[in-house]
Chains A and B, each alone.
Chain A
Amino acid sequence: MITESDIEHIAELADIGISKDEVPEFTTQFNAILDYFEVLDTVEGESAPAAGTANVFREDEPRPGLSQDAALVNAGSTENGFIKAPRVM
Chain B
Amino acid sequence: MKTIIGLEIHVQLATATKLFCGCSTDYRDDEPNTHCCPICLGLPGALPRLNRKAVEYGLKVAKALDMEVPEESEFARKNYFYPDLPKAYQITQYDKPLAVAGTVEIEDDEGHEKLVRITRVHLEEDPGRLVHVTGGSKYSLVDYNRSGIPLLEIVTEPDMRSPQEARRFLNKLRTVLEYLGVFDGDREGSLRVDANISLEGSERVEVKNISSYKGVEKALTFEVTRQKNLLRRGQKVTRETRHFMEGRGITTSARSKEEEHDYRYFPEPDLRPLRVADWVAAIDLPELPVARKNRFMAEYGISLNHARTLTGDPKLADFYEEVAEIDPVLAATWVADTLLGELNYRDMDIAAVPPGHIRELLGLLKTETITDAAGVQVLREMLDACARGSPCESPVAIMKREGLGKATGSEYAPIVQGVIAANPQAVEDYRAGKKGALNYLVGQVMKETRGRADPRELGRIVSECIDTDRV
**Chain A directly contacts chain B within the complex, with at least one CB pair under 8 Å:** yes
Bound together, the chains give a CA A68 to CA B81 distance in angstroms of 24
- In the complex, the answer to whether A83 meets B33 with C-beta atoms within 8 Å is yes
> In the complex, what residues of A have CB within 8 A of residue B143's CB?
81-83
- In the complex, the answer to whether A81 meets B262 with C-beta atoms within 8 Å is no
Which of B23, B33, B34, B130 is the most central at the interface, judged by chain A CB atoms within 10 Å of its CB? Answer: B33
- In the complex, the answer to whether B273 meets A50 with C-beta atoms within 8 Å is yes
> In the complex, what residues of B have CB within 8 A of residue A58's CB?
22, 49-52
Given contacts A50-B273, A60-B52, A82-B142, A66 and B36 within 8 Å (CB-CB): yes
- In the complex, the answer to whether A82 meets B23 with C-beta atoms within 8 Å is no
Q: Secondary structure of the A side of the interface?
A: loop
> In the complex, what residues of B have CB within 8 A of residue A85's CB?
83, 130, 139-142
Count: A-B pairs, CB below 8 Å? 118
Q: Tell me how many residues of A have a C-beta within 8 Å of chain B.
A: 33
A62 nearest CB across to chain B (Å) = 4
- In the complex, the answer to whether A68 meets B33 with C-beta atoms within 8 Å is yes
Closest-by-CB residue of A relative to B55 is: A57
**A56 CB contact (under 8 Å) in B38, B50, B131, B262:** B50
Bound together, the chains give a CA A58 to CA B53 distance in angstroms of 9
Given contacts A60-B16, A65-B22, A54 and B274 within 8 Å (CB-CB): yes
Which of A53, A65, A66, A87 is the most central at the interface, judged by chain B CB atoms within 10 Å of its CB? Answer: A65
- In the complex, the answer to whether A55 meets B274 with C-beta atoms within 8 Å is yes
B220 nearest CB across to chain A (Å) = 26
**B140 CB contact (under 8 Å) in A13, A52, A88:** A88
Nearest first, the 9 closest Cβ-Cβ pairs linking A and B are A63-B22, A82-B141, A65-B37, A60-B53, A85-B83, A57-B52, A58-B49, A81-B32, A87-B138
Taking A55-B276, A87-B133, A87-B140 as given, write out 8 further A-B residue pairs in contact, using a Cβ cutoff of 8 Å, ordered by the A residue number. A49-B72, A54-B272, A55-B274, A65-B36, A71-B33, A82-B131, A83-B141, A84-B140
